[in-house]
Structure 1
């Protein structure tokens, strides 16, 4: 799926905190991102806890805040801040509080590291609670300390609460706050990346609001089809139906897009921008029950194709060849006139890949990330050996 929010997650130099619940008449304060994390960590956890528990909690705090920034969670709702100090919505921040020295040192080390699910772009919405008076689906703060006391390292603690399919991104870029809206109205005749983002957002939103017509191809050209889709979107959501994407229409799209993909939730469907790697060759046959990076590759390509062929359902990119993946393969086989056995063999892969390659050739937002060895459109002389997929972040496999 093409990216529609800021292209690469980043660490903001500064973050603006609303000192209350979102709709309250409270002060907004702007602080450096490391100082924000130090304040929250000093407010949420105890400096006497084991280092493994402190690290795990700090990484959760960082990841949650970066998710709020990346998804433009509050700006897309019309608020002039990035996060609140209300624990009912976000994380505890106390203006002017003292910072514990050991927490400060850990934050200086970790502030540009965050958690994400393998294969997803956005920082994990790493929700947490104290685990005693309040419980939740995310990390238990007191539970993390108990695990650390039992000898668990911070990676084990994070996997315990967020699952095994997470990884750490290290050395994330640091820059000023970036907003996805380009700063000017976008209308018929416009071209470029902003138009592509509009088209992708509308196509995904239309899966939940089918009255919005699909835009094909996603070509970055604001023509009549895009204008009609924008007008229908504006009509549905009580905006001025002029077919022009100004600030209000843009952020309503961002709000809906983040919502339908649950990007700001722990159970996010995820922004994907490349299939998994690992250096394992694509096998001749994949069937229900298979697991691994080859399955994740198939799921990624199925999802790209599903964006343009509505009779093929999208699937979770989890590396598990379950019933949903099998059903998507059957739909592809039916469309391609192949035996409908739900098995990803050479002929089915070729049919799937050629649909995918056509999309990649047409839509510049996509990049062909399939290794040459598995590309039936290349001559045999080029399709030899195994080329790994694009670089991966640090997968949580060890504490090194």
Structure 2
């Protein structure tokens, strides 16, 4: 389970990153990840791009679950805005669900095995976005570019997060 702070909407009807917290929802962790991926990566993108995105979304959420915050009397792990990751309940898509379940039993960690925050930014289209590599951030558009160049999800992750390792999560299956 993960605690998601739900913020009020702005005038466009989208959750406002600066809006007040209305309530905190407890969401199944798998469902949370499945509902973030299509809002952070385009479901039509290459499977390797989506798989690298699924790992980033999961590890970002896992890190924040281990480091909750309290704001305005509400304790939560993430909110539903770009402050953390864009979460929209029940917005999962078939292509992003497949990417999530293919990578579900995997974690991308520091050499010590420690969970770290896998940050990512949009970046620029048609580029690997080299500027993010040394900052330990991944470019969403860069994942699509690298996938279109034949890289698999692990090669994409290793391009952006230098010196990290892919490990099997004990007791987690693909179901």
Q: Same-fold call, TM > 0.5? A: yes
When residues 170 and 76 of structure 1 are mapped into structure 2, their CA distance, relative to the original with a 3 A threshold, is: farther
| Cα separation, partners in 2 of 1:83 and 1:170, compared to 1, 3 Å | same
Unaligned runs of 5+ in 1: 1-13, 175-400
Partner of 1:16 in structure 2?
Answer: 3
From 78, 87, 90, give the equivalent of 2:84: 90
- More relative contact order in 1 or in 2 (CA 8 Å, sep 6+)? 2
Cα RMSD after superposing both structures: 2.5
TM-score under structure 1 normalisation?
A: 0.36
Q: How does 1:1-400 map to 2 (within 5 A)?
A: 14-20=1-7, 21=17, 24-70=20-66, 72-75=67-70, 79-87=74-82, 89-97=83-91, 99-121=92-114, 123-132=115-124, 137=135, 138-163=137-162, 165-172=163-170
1:27 partner SS: strand
Structure 1 CA distance, aligned partners of 2:90 and 2:98? 18
Structure 1 residue 59: Cα displacement: 0.3
The 1:76/1:85 distance shift into structure 2, 3 A limit, reads: closer
Aligned residues: 155
Contact 1:37/1:111 (<8 A) preserved: no
Q: Distance in 2 between matches of 1:86 and 1:173?
A: 31
> Aligned partners of 2:116 and 2:53: how far apart in 1?
13
**Which structure shows the bigger proportion of residues in strand conformation?**
2
Aligned-partner Cα distance in 1 for 2:23–2:70: 16
Distance in 2 (alpha carbons) for counterparts of 1:16 and 1:74: 10
Structure with bigger gyration radius: 1
- Distance in 2 separating the partners of 1:36 and 1:62: 9
Q: Which runs of 4+ in 1 moved over 3 A?
A: 75-79
Query: CA separation of 1:109/1:78 partners in 2, compared to 1, >3 Å: closer, same or farther?
Result: farther
TM-score by length of 2: 0.77
Q: Name the CA shift for 1:112/1:66 in 2 (closer, same or farther; >3 Å).
A: farther
1:100 to partner: Cα distance: 1.0
Tell me the CA shift for residue 118 of structure 1: 0.5
When residues 143 and 111 of structure 1 are mapped into structure 2, their CA distance, relative to the original with a 3 A threshold, is: same
Return closer, same or farther for 1:128/1:172 CA change in 2, 3 Å cut-off.
Answer: farther
Aligned partners of 1:96, 1:54: CA distance in 2, in Å? 18
